[in-house]
Chains A and B, each alone.
Chain A
Amino acid sequence: MASDEVLTDPFLALAELGGHLRRARAALPPLLRERAQASDDDDEQGPLSRVLDVAQAAVASLQGFAGLRRSFAGGAAIELARSANKVSVVLLGSPRPDDITAFIGELARSDQRLQDATALLGLLLGLCASWLTAGFAPPIVLKTLAERGPQILELGAALCSEAGGSD
Protein backbone atom coordinates (compact mmCIF):
# COMPACT_ATOMS: atom_id res chain seq x y z
CA MET A 1 0.00 0.00 0.00
CA ALA A 2 1.40 3.38 -0.96
CA SER A 3 2.27 5.65 1.92
CA ASP A 4 0.67 8.54 0.01
CA GLU A 5 -2.62 6.70 0.18
CA VAL A 6 -2.34 6.34 3.94
CA LEU A 7 -1.44 9.99 4.31
CA THR A 8 -4.49 11.21 2.42
CA ASP A 9 -7.06 8.67 3.62
CA PRO A 10 -7.59 9.11 7.35
CA PHE A 11 -9.70 5.96 7.59
CA LEU A 12 -6.96 3.90 6.08
CA ALA A 13 -4.47 5.69 8.33
CA LEU A 14 -6.51 4.71 11.37
CA ALA A 15 -6.79 1.10 10.26
CA GLU A 16 -3.03 1.00 9.67
CA LEU A 17 -2.15 2.71 12.96
CA GLY A 18 -1.35 -0.53 14.82
CA GLY A 19 1.05 -1.58 12.06
CA HIS A 20 2.78 1.81 12.07
CA LEU A 21 3.28 1.64 15.83
CA ARG A 22 4.84 -1.82 15.51
CA ARG A 23 7.12 -0.52 12.76
CA ALA A 24 8.14 2.44 14.94
CA ARG A 25 8.90 0.09 17.83
CA ALA A 26 11.08 -2.04 15.57
CA ALA A 27 12.91 1.02 14.25
CA LEU A 28 14.11 2.21 17.64
CA PRO A 29 16.37 -0.45 19.25
CA PRO A 30 19.45 -0.04 17.01
CA LEU A 31 19.47 3.72 17.50
CA LEU A 32 18.88 3.40 21.24
CA ARG A 33 21.73 0.86 21.57
CA GLU A 34 24.00 3.24 19.71
CA ARG A 35 23.04 6.11 22.01
CA ALA A 36 23.37 3.98 25.15
CA GLN A 37 26.92 3.01 24.16
CA ALA A 38 27.79 6.63 23.56
CA SER A 39 26.34 7.96 26.81
CA ASP A 40 26.31 4.97 29.20
CA ASP A 41 22.63 5.63 29.63
CA ASP A 42 20.44 2.66 28.75
CA ASP A 43 17.27 3.93 30.34
CA GLU A 44 15.74 5.45 27.19
CA GLN A 45 14.01 2.37 25.81
CA GLY A 46 11.79 1.73 28.84
CA PRO A 47 9.86 5.03 28.76
CA LEU A 48 9.50 4.94 24.96
CA SER A 49 8.24 1.37 25.16
CA ARG A 50 5.62 2.50 27.66
CA VAL A 51 4.54 5.30 25.30
CA LEU A 52 4.17 2.79 22.46
CA ASP A 53 2.30 0.37 24.74
CA VAL A 54 -0.19 3.10 25.64
CA ALA A 55 -0.56 4.03 21.97
CA GLN A 56 -1.24 0.43 20.94
CA ALA A 57 -3.74 -0.01 23.78
CA ALA A 58 -5.60 3.10 22.53
CA VAL A 59 -5.85 1.63 19.03
CA ALA A 60 -7.17 -1.65 20.45
CA SER A 61 -9.66 0.19 22.65
CA LEU A 62 -11.54 1.53 19.62
CA GLN A 63 -12.93 -1.94 19.04
CA GLY A 64 -14.81 -1.67 22.34
CA PHE A 65 -16.86 1.30 21.17
CA ALA A 66 -18.76 -0.59 18.48
CA GLY A 67 -21.46 -1.41 20.96
CA LEU A 68 -22.60 -2.07 24.50
CA ARG A 69 -24.49 -5.16 25.64
CA ARG A 70 -25.78 -5.90 29.12
CA SER A 71 -27.96 -8.63 30.64
CA PHE A 72 -30.02 -8.14 33.79
CA ALA A 73 -31.76 -10.21 36.40
CA GLY A 74 -34.76 -12.10 35.02
CA GLY A 75 -33.08 -12.51 31.66
CA ALA A 76 -33.80 -9.03 30.31
CA ALA A 77 -31.09 -7.53 28.15
CA ILE A 78 -30.21 -4.33 26.31
CA GLU A 79 -27.87 -4.01 23.35
CA LEU A 80 -26.68 -0.87 21.61
CA ALA A 81 -24.88 -1.43 18.32
CA ARG A 82 -23.14 1.13 16.12
CA SER A 83 -22.69 0.38 12.46
CA ALA A 84 -21.79 2.94 9.83
CA ASN A 85 -24.20 5.85 10.29
CA LYS A 86 -26.73 3.84 12.27
CA VAL A 87 -27.14 3.20 15.96
CA SER A 88 -29.70 0.65 17.04
CA VAL A 89 -30.88 -0.22 20.52
CA VAL A 90 -32.68 -3.48 21.27
CA LEU A 91 -34.39 -4.20 24.59
CA LEU A 92 -35.27 -7.83 25.18
CA GLY A 93 -37.71 -8.81 27.88
CA SER A 94 -38.65 -6.19 30.42
CA PRO A 95 -35.65 -4.44 31.92
CA ARG A 96 -36.55 -2.51 35.09
CA PRO A 97 -36.32 1.30 34.96
CA ASP A 98 -33.27 1.01 37.26
CA ASP A 99 -31.61 -1.32 34.73
CA ILE A 100 -32.27 1.18 31.97
CA THR A 101 -30.89 4.02 34.09
CA ALA A 102 -27.76 1.97 34.81
CA PHE A 103 -27.34 1.24 31.10
CA ILE A 104 -27.69 4.94 30.24
CA GLY A 105 -25.01 5.77 32.85
CA GLU A 106 -22.68 3.17 31.39
CA LEU A 107 -23.29 4.51 27.89
CA ALA A 108 -22.36 8.02 29.04
CA ARG A 109 -19.12 6.70 30.56
CA SER A 110 -18.38 4.82 27.34
CA ASP A 111 -18.90 8.05 25.38
CA GLN A 112 -16.42 9.82 27.65
CA ARG A 113 -13.86 7.06 27.06
CA LEU A 114 -14.47 7.42 23.32
CA GLN A 115 -13.69 11.15 23.60
CA ASP A 116 -10.44 10.34 25.39
CA ALA A 117 -9.55 7.56 22.95
CA THR A 118 -10.17 9.70 19.86
CA ALA A 119 -8.15 12.58 21.33
CA LEU A 120 -5.23 10.20 21.73
CA LEU A 121 -5.77 8.54 18.35
CA GLY A 122 -5.92 11.94 16.65
CA LEU A 123 -2.51 12.71 18.12
CA LEU A 124 -1.17 9.32 17.00
CA LEU A 125 -2.49 9.81 13.46
CA GLY A 126 -0.44 13.00 13.19
CA LEU A 127 2.60 11.28 14.63
CA CYS A 128 2.33 8.31 12.27
CA ALA A 129 1.88 10.64 9.30
CA SER A 130 5.19 12.30 10.16
CA TRP A 131 6.87 8.88 10.49
CA LEU A 132 5.52 7.78 7.12
CA THR A 133 6.74 10.98 5.51
CA ALA A 134 10.18 10.40 7.03
CA GLY A 135 10.22 6.72 5.98
CA PHE A 136 10.31 5.70 9.65
CA ALA A 137 13.80 7.11 10.01
CA PRO A 138 14.79 6.15 13.58
CA PRO A 139 16.03 9.63 14.59
CA ILE A 140 12.69 11.15 13.56
CA VAL A 141 10.67 8.43 15.30
CA LEU A 142 12.76 8.87 18.45
CA LYS A 143 12.59 12.67 18.45
CA THR A 144 8.82 12.88 17.87
CA LEU A 145 8.06 10.10 20.34
CA ALA A 146 10.14 11.83 22.99
CA GLU A 147 8.38 15.13 22.28
CA ARG A 148 4.86 13.70 22.28
CA GLY A 149 5.44 10.99 24.88
CA PRO A 150 4.23 12.97 27.92
CA GLN A 151 1.02 13.97 26.14
CA ILE A 152 0.40 10.39 24.98
CA LEU A 153 0.91 9.09 28.52
CA GLU A 154 -1.39 11.77 29.93
CA LEU A 155 -4.20 10.99 27.48
CA GLY A 156 -3.63 7.27 28.00
CA ALA A 157 -3.93 7.72 31.76
CA ALA A 158 -7.27 9.52 31.29
CA LEU A 159 -8.48 6.67 29.12
CA CYS A 160 -7.37 4.06 31.68
CA SER A 161 -8.94 5.92 34.61
CA GLU A 162 -12.26 6.14 32.78
CA ALA A 163 -12.07 2.43 31.98
CA GLY A 164 -11.31 1.66 35.62
CA GLY A 165 -14.17 3.81 36.82
CA SER A 166 -16.70 1.91 34.73
CA ASP A 167 -15.88 -1.53 36.10
Chain B
Amino acid sequence: MSLKDAIKKFTDGIVDLSNLEVTTYTGKLEQLVDATTGQLKWDECKPSNGKLVLVAATLIRPNLNTVNFRAGDAEQSDLKALLELHTAAVESARNGRMALLKMFAGHLAPRIGAGD
Protein backbone atom coordinates (compact mmCIF):
# COMPACT_ATOMS: atom_id res chain seq x y z
CA MET B 1 0.00 0.00 0.00
CA SER B 2 1.42 3.38 -0.96
CA LEU B 3 1.75 6.21 1.53
CA LYS B 4 -1.03 8.00 -0.33
CA ASP B 5 -3.34 4.99 -0.02
CA ALA B 6 -2.49 4.61 3.67
CA ILE B 7 -3.25 8.25 4.37
CA LYS B 8 -6.51 7.99 2.44
CA LYS B 9 -7.54 4.88 4.36
CA PHE B 10 -6.67 6.53 7.65
CA THR B 11 -8.43 9.80 6.93
CA ASP B 12 -11.49 8.45 5.08
CA GLY B 13 -13.34 8.11 8.35
CA ILE B 14 -13.25 11.79 9.03
CA VAL B 15 -15.33 12.44 5.93
CA ASP B 16 -18.11 10.45 7.51
CA LEU B 17 -18.73 12.07 10.84
CA SER B 18 -21.82 10.01 11.42
CA ASN B 19 -20.73 7.20 13.72
CA LEU B 20 -17.54 5.90 15.22
CA GLU B 21 -17.56 2.15 15.73
CA VAL B 22 -15.18 0.19 17.92
CA THR B 23 -15.31 -3.61 18.09
CA THR B 24 -13.23 -6.12 20.04
CA TYR B 25 -13.01 -9.77 19.01
CA THR B 26 -11.26 -12.84 20.31
CA GLY B 27 -10.14 -15.85 18.31
CA LYS B 28 -8.38 -19.16 18.77
CA LEU B 29 -4.80 -19.31 17.66
CA GLU B 30 -5.15 -22.67 15.92
CA GLN B 31 -7.80 -21.23 13.60
CA LEU B 32 -5.50 -18.51 12.34
CA VAL B 33 -2.05 -20.04 12.46
CA ASP B 34 -0.59 -21.38 9.23
CA ALA B 35 0.03 -25.08 9.90
CA THR B 36 3.06 -25.12 7.61
CA THR B 37 4.91 -22.01 8.72
CA GLY B 38 3.52 -21.58 12.23
CA GLN B 39 2.99 -17.90 11.45
CA LEU B 40 -0.23 -16.03 12.17
CA LYS B 41 -2.32 -15.42 9.07
CA TRP B 42 -2.97 -11.75 9.82
CA ASP B 43 -4.73 -11.20 6.51
CA GLU B 44 -7.44 -13.61 7.57
CA CYS B 45 -7.75 -11.95 10.93
CA LYS B 46 -10.93 -10.10 9.97
CA PRO B 47 -14.23 -9.93 11.84
CA SER B 48 -15.98 -11.05 8.65
CA ASN B 49 -14.18 -14.40 8.43
CA GLY B 50 -16.53 -16.12 10.87
CA LYS B 51 -13.72 -17.39 13.08
CA LEU B 52 -13.72 -14.54 15.56
CA VAL B 53 -16.08 -13.97 18.48
CA LEU B 54 -17.37 -10.50 19.34
CA VAL B 55 -16.63 -9.57 22.94
CA ALA B 56 -17.57 -5.90 23.03
CA ALA B 57 -18.75 -3.18 20.69
CA THR B 58 -19.22 0.55 21.08
CA LEU B 59 -21.00 2.94 18.77
CA ILE B 60 -20.41 6.64 19.30
CA ARG B 61 -22.92 8.86 17.54
CA PRO B 62 -22.12 12.41 16.36
CA ASN B 63 -23.96 13.86 19.36
CA LEU B 64 -21.61 11.70 21.50
CA ASN B 65 -24.44 9.41 22.58
CA THR B 66 -22.84 6.03 23.02
CA VAL B 67 -24.21 2.51 22.63
CA ASN B 68 -22.27 -0.29 24.29
CA PHE B 69 -22.57 -4.02 23.76
CA ARG B 70 -20.84 -6.60 25.94
CA ALA B 71 -20.96 -10.31 25.30
CA GLY B 72 -22.37 -12.23 28.24
CA ASP B 73 -20.56 -15.48 27.67
CA ALA B 74 -16.93 -14.35 27.97
CA GLU B 75 -15.11 -15.92 30.89
CA GLN B 76 -15.27 -13.60 33.89
CA SER B 77 -11.54 -13.82 34.61
CA ASP B 78 -10.69 -12.69 31.07
CA LEU B 79 -13.44 -10.15 30.81
CA LYS B 80 -11.88 -7.43 32.96
CA ALA B 81 -8.69 -7.24 30.90
CA LEU B 82 -10.63 -7.52 27.64
CA LEU B 83 -12.95 -4.69 28.57
CA GLU B 84 -10.00 -2.54 29.65
CA LEU B 85 -8.50 -3.10 26.22
CA HIS B 86 -11.81 -2.30 24.53
CA THR B 87 -12.15 0.89 26.59
CA ALA B 88 -8.60 1.88 25.59
CA ALA B 89 -9.48 1.28 21.94
CA VAL B 90 -12.58 3.49 22.27
CA GLU B 91 -10.45 6.23 23.83
CA SER B 92 -7.87 5.83 21.06
CA ALA B 93 -10.58 6.04 18.38
CA ARG B 94 -11.90 9.27 19.94
CA ASN B 95 -8.38 10.71 20.24
CA GLY B 96 -7.60 9.82 16.63
CA ARG B 97 -10.73 11.49 15.33
CA MET B 98 -10.12 14.61 17.44
CA ALA B 99 -6.50 14.83 16.26
CA LEU B 100 -7.57 14.66 12.62
CA LEU B 101 -10.38 17.15 13.11
CA LYS B 102 -7.98 19.57 14.77
CA MET B 103 -5.48 19.16 11.95
CA PHE B 104 -8.05 19.84 9.24
CA ALA B 105 -9.77 22.60 11.21
CA GLY B 106 -6.57 24.64 11.04
CA HIS B 107 -6.44 24.11 7.28
CA LEU B 108 -10.07 24.98 6.62
CA ALA B 109 -10.63 27.85 9.06
CA PRO B 110 -8.80 30.54 7.05
CA ARG B 111 -10.67 29.48 3.91
CA ILE B 112 -14.03 29.50 5.64
CA GLY B 113 -13.18 32.95 6.99
CA ALA B 114 -12.07 34.10 3.54
CA GLY B 115 -15.33 32.91 2.04
CA ASP B 116 -17.45 34.99 4.41
Q: Are A100 and B9 in contact (CB under 8 A)?
A: no
Could you say which of A87, A90, A129 contacts B107, with CB atoms under 8 Å apart? Answer: A129
Does A46 touch B at the CB level, under 8 Å?
no
- Could you mark each residue 73-116 of chain B with 1 if its beta carbon is under 8 Å from any beta carbon of chain A, else 0? 00000101110111011111101110110111111101100000
Q: How many residues of B contact A (CB 8 A)?
A: 61
Write the chain B residue with the least CB distance to A8. Answer: B111
Give the residues in chain A near B92, CB-CB below 8 Å. 80, 87, 107-108, 110-111
**In the complex, A15→B3 CA distance in Å?**
8
**In the complex, A41→B71 CA distance in Å?**
68
**In the complex, A111→B47 CA distance in Å?**
24
Per DSSP, chain B at the interface is helix
- Could you mark each residue 56-89 of chain A with 1 if its beta carbon is under 8 Å from any beta carbon of chain B, else 0? 0001101101100101000111111011111111
Could you say which of A8, A14, A86, A129 contacts B7, with CB atoms under 8 Å apart? Answer: A14
Q: Report if A62-B13 is in contact (Cβ < 8 Å); known contacts: A7-B111, A92-B45.
A: no
Give the residues in chain A near B97, CB-CB below 8 Å. 85
Q: How many residues of A contact B (CB 8 A)?
A: 56
- Would you give the shortest CB distance from A62 to chain B, in whole angstroms? 6
Does A165 touch B at the CB level, under 8 Å?
no
Could you say which of A59, A92, A118, A125 contacts B27, with CB atoms under 8 Å apart? Answer: A92
Does B10 touch A at the CB level, under 8 Å?
yes
Could you say which of A15, A86, A103, A115 contacts B23, with CB atoms under 8 Å apart? Answer: A86
Q: Are B40 and A71 in contact (CB under 8 A)?
A: yes
Q: Are B20 and A85 in contact (CB under 8 A)?
A: yes
**In the complex, A37→B11 CA distance in Å?**
44
Give the residues in chain B near A126, CB-CB below 8 Å. 106-107, 110
Does A137 touch B at the CB level, under 8 Å?
no
Give the residues in chain A near B106, CB-CB below 8 Å. 122-123, 125-126
Does A142 touch B at the CB level, under 8 Å?
no
Give the residues in chain A near B89, CB-CB below 8 Å. 80, 87, 89, 107
6 contacts between A and B (CB under 8 A): A86-B23, A89-B25, A90-B24, A92-B45, A111-B95, A126-B110
